[in-house]
């Protein structure tokens, strides 16, 4: 019999729904039947025979009758028939009338439609409703994501807004997973991002501008090819690399508030922003790029094209994952930085009090006038509240990305490089590679990786390393280049349930005689400290780090001496600093480690930040963990453009690991401020 705790799940469900101040029939929060998912559907044919027919068409009834761990969202017969009617009556698909159906019936569904419907209602892992009530995005077996939310009117969980979990069919626990009875078939769009936007009348101005600039024909990529890995040691290797786009878009109503009523007036507005952008857009100035102010809208440096490109990320991120809520302490703001399709520009996303904003900034960001605390409110005047996102309910999900409506006009003006990005910027390892987000690997559960890998764990004997990790094939990550083929093994460790001392929980490991390079996020011109966050362990190795303006080896030059990741700072009881790093227990020092921090910097090291803890909610700050270190690997000028880091092992030992947690880029006016000091967060 499958292990389950009835009372824990019941209690958690009550908590989550009470927190929404809604009443749920508690007697229906948990059911146990002793059946498999297929048994449950077969034994209730008067309710689920249609959905079960679809499963049988693709032989998934046999899979759901066998061992495994799944989540099944099961629409009843009426819901399936309503969906069949909507497919058959759809007149928008000119290429395939009736969406390819031969009749208005189950039998009229094509095999491909049956596969899409069935697999879009199944997850490779078990998800109870308690985790869905506050909103989450999960990947289905079809490979497309679904988003959950709490519907305050229906007083239950909604899937992609329309399909509601029936209160009498909530959390049905079965031998091989959990089933949720739902009111509608979960709908999905097969349109690409521009086509989906065109189908929404509220985006008519933005949609027409995409066509005028040619971006409608550009935002069509859905996947890219990659190489074959010779030996994966049993770790999960992706079979397909999905790519896509995230679009922050103004509705017609928002644009009209700025006097934008059509493509021409949008171009006029864009001209007011970008005509003289050489003043703050360093890449344009440094490369003597001529800005077009005419009607050649398809010119990528036309002001209208620039305006639109700053709205687009070349990877797909659902609303729930635009920021990562994991092991940060309560009082900090969640922050992420994403590269846009306007060359070498970033957009900043913040989350505070459950509100997401773009390019919000405060005076003296990353600085403080206190010790071991954030700066007082009076020194952090809000200079720009940011462009607020509408929220989860406004999200639109095309086949190759997401459209997020915003409440004001988004631009890359002087306040972005000089304000929003004029702070210490911390990039989690996954944010460095768009494919990690497009393929839903960021924040993926270990159990889901195991399910995708056929229930197996990988094992790399040389390093005595085993677990549910993702092995990266060559060419899968386009911002990464491997120089020596199979001698480099790169693994992504999600770590969402592991309690590791990592920013956002996850990490990248390099194994073998590794030699690879990764592209740095672009930053405005300036003098920066480039820092690498890692955890020291005895099984790590020693790495030489190089920097170049491309991934070509000829451009790479060594920076800093080799970094020995095996050195774990001594935690001396008498508070004597570690001889290699200068580390000691800051919390026992009268000055909270201020002088010690300066000594560590002189040795090229920094403690981990106060921003996050070891594991979730442990109270053990990364700053207090001697293994949590930041290495200052470069201090100097960076221009807004292409920069790469190369990592090459300097010891001949296949068991020695390379570790990467995050990258920091900190401008000189923060780490060397003459008025305040950089905060410890």
CB 533 within 8 A of CB 659: no
Residue 21 has pLDDT above 70, yes or no: no
Indicate the pTM of the whole model. 0.91
The reported pLDDT for the residue numbered 7 is 31
DSSP-assigned beta bridge partners for residue 540: 657
Name which residue leads in pLDDT, 27 or 67.
Answer: 67
What is the DSSP code string of 387-424? EEB--GGG-B--TTEEEEEESS-----THIIIIITSS-
The reported pLDDT for the residue numbered 4 is 37
pLDDT band at 33 (very low <50, low <70, confident <90, very high): low
The reported pLDDT for the residue numbered 8 is 33
Q: Are strands 156-159 and 163-164 parallel, antiparallel or unpaired?
A: antiparallel
CB 101 within 8 A of CB 110: yes
- Report the SS3 class of residue 299: coil
| Cα dihedral 140, 146, 148, 152 sign | negative
The distance from CA 206 to its chain's CA centroid, rounded to whole angstroms, is 25
What does the alpha-carbon distance between residue 190 and residue 168 come to, in Å, rounded to a whole number?
32
Chain mean pLDDT for the chain: 93
Integer angstrom CA distances of residue 413 from 66, 100, 276, 306, 359 = 57, 48, 10, 11, 10
Residue 496 has pLDDT above 90, yes or no: no
pLDDT band at 216 (very low <50, low <70, confident <90, very high): very high
What does the alpha-carbon distance between residue 180 and residue 166 come to, in Å, rounded to a whole number?
7
Interval 73-130: pLDDT, tens:
999 999 999 999 999 998 877 778 888 899 999 999 999 999 999 999 999 999 999 8
Structure letter (DSSP) for residue 504? G
What does the alpha-carbon distance between residue 563 and residue 582 come to, in Å, rounded to a whole number?
15
Interval 588-609: pLDDT, tens:
999 999 999 999 999 999 999 9
- Beta-carbon contacts of 8 under 8 Å, excluding residues fewer than 6 positions away, are none
What does the alpha-carbon distance between residue 453 and residue 469 come to, in Å, rounded to a whole number?
9
Q: Is 476 left (phi over 0), alpha (psi -120 to 50) or beta?
A: alpha
pLDDT band at 154 (very low <50, low <70, confident <90, very high): confident
Residue 325 has pLDDT above 50, yes or no: yes
The reported pLDDT for the residue numbered 9 is 35
Integer angstrom CA distances of residue 48 from 63, 82, 106, 115, 567 = 17, 14, 13, 17, 60
The angle that helices 111-119 and 45-57 make with each other, rounded to 10 degrees, is 120
CB 358 within 8 A of CB 410: yes
Q: Among 114, 92, 110, which Cα is nearest to 101's?
A: 110
Interval 524-573: pLDDT, tens:
999 999 999 999 999 999 999 999 999 999 999 999 899 999 999 999 99
Q: Phi/psi of residue 317, each to 5°?
A: -135, 120
pLDDT band at 231 (very low <50, low <70, confident <90, very high): very high
Residue 30 has pLDDT above 90, yes or no: no
The reported pLDDT for the residue numbered 2 is 42
């Amino acid at each position: 019999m499958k292990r389950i705790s009835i009372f824990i799940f019941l209690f958690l469900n009550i908590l989550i729904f009470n927190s929404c101040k809604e009443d749920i029939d508690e007697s229906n929060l948990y059911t146990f039947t002793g059946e498999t998912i297929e048994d449950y559907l077969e034994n209730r044919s008067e309710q689920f025979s249609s959905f079960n027919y679809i499963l049988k068409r693709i032989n998934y009834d046999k899979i759901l009758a066998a061992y495994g761990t799944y989540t099944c969202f099961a629409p009843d017969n009426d819901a399936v028939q309503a969906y069949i009617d909507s497919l058959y009556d759809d007149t928008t698909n000119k290429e395939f009338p009736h969406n390819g159906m031969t009749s208005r019936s189950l039998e009229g569904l094509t095999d491909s439609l049956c596969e899409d419907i069935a697999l879009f209602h199944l997850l490779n892992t078990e998800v109870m409703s308690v985790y869905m009530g506050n909103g989450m995005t999960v990947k289905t077996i079809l490979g497309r994501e679904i988003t959950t939310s709490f519907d305050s009117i229906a007083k239950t969980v909604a899937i992609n807004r329309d399909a509601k979990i029936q209160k009498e069919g909530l959390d049905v626990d079965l031998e091989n997973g959990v089933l949720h009875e739902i009111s509608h078939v979960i709908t999905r769009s097969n349109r690409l991002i521009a086509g989906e936007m065109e189908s929404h009348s509220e985006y008519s101005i933005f949609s027409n501008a995409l066509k005028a600039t040619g971006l409608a024909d550009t935002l069509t990529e859905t996947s890219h090819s990659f190489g074959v890995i010779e030996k994966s040691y049993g770790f999960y290797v992706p079979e397909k690399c999905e790519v896509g786009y995230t679009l922050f878009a103004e509705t017609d109503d928002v644009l009209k508030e700025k006097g934008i009523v059509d493509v021409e007036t949008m171009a006029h507005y864009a001209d007011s922003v970008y005509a003289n952008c050489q003043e703050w857009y360093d890449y344009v100035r440094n490369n003597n790029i001529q800005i077009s102010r005419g009607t050649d809208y398809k010119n990528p440096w036309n002001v209208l094209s620039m305006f639109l490109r700053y709205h687009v990320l070349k990877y797909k991120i659902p609303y729930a994952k635009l920021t990562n809520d994991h092991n940060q302490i309560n009082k900090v703001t969640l922050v992420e930085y994403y590269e846009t399709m306007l060359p070498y520009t970033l957009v900043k996303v913040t989350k505070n009090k459950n509100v997401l904003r773009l390019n919000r900034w405060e005076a003296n960001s990353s600085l403080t006038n206190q010790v071991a605390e954030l700066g007082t409110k009076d020194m952090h005047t809000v200079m720009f509240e940011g462009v607020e996102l509408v929220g989860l309910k406004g999200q639109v999900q095309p086949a190759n990305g997401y459209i997020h409506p915003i409440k004001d006009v988004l631009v890359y003006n002087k306040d972005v490089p000089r304000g929003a990005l004029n702070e210490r910027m911390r990039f989690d390892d996954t944010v460095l590679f768009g494919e990690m987000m497009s393929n839903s690997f960021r924040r993926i559960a270990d159990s889901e990786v195991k399910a995708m890998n056929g229930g197996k764990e990988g094992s790399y004997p040389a390093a005595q390393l085993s677990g549910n990790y993702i092995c990266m094939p060559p060419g899968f990550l386009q911002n990464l280049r491997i120089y020596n083929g199979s001698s480099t093994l790169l693994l992504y460790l999600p770590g969402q349930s592991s309690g590791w001392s990592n920013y956002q929980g996850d990490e990248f490991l390099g194994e073998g005689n590794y030699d690879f390079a990764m592209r740095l996020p672009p930053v405005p011109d300036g003098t920066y400290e480039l820092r690498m966050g890692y955890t020291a362990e005895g099984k790590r190795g020693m790495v030489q780090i190089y920097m170049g303006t491309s991934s070509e080896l000829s451009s790479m030059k060594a920076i800093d001496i080799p970094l020995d990741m095996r050195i774990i700072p001594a935690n001396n009881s008498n508070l004597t600093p570690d001889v290699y790093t200068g580390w000691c227990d800051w919390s026992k020092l009268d000055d909270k480690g201020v002088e010690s921090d300066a000594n560590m910097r002189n040795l090229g090291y920094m403690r981990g930040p106060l921003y996050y803890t070891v594991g979730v909610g442990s109270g053990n700050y990364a700053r207090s963990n001697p293994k949590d270190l930041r290495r200052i690997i470069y201090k100097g000028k960076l221009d807004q453009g292409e920069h790469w880091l190369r990592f090459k092992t300097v010891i001949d030992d296949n068991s020695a690991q390379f570790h990467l947690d995050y990258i920091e880029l900190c401008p000189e006016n923060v780490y060397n401020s003459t008025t305040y000091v950089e905060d410890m967060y």
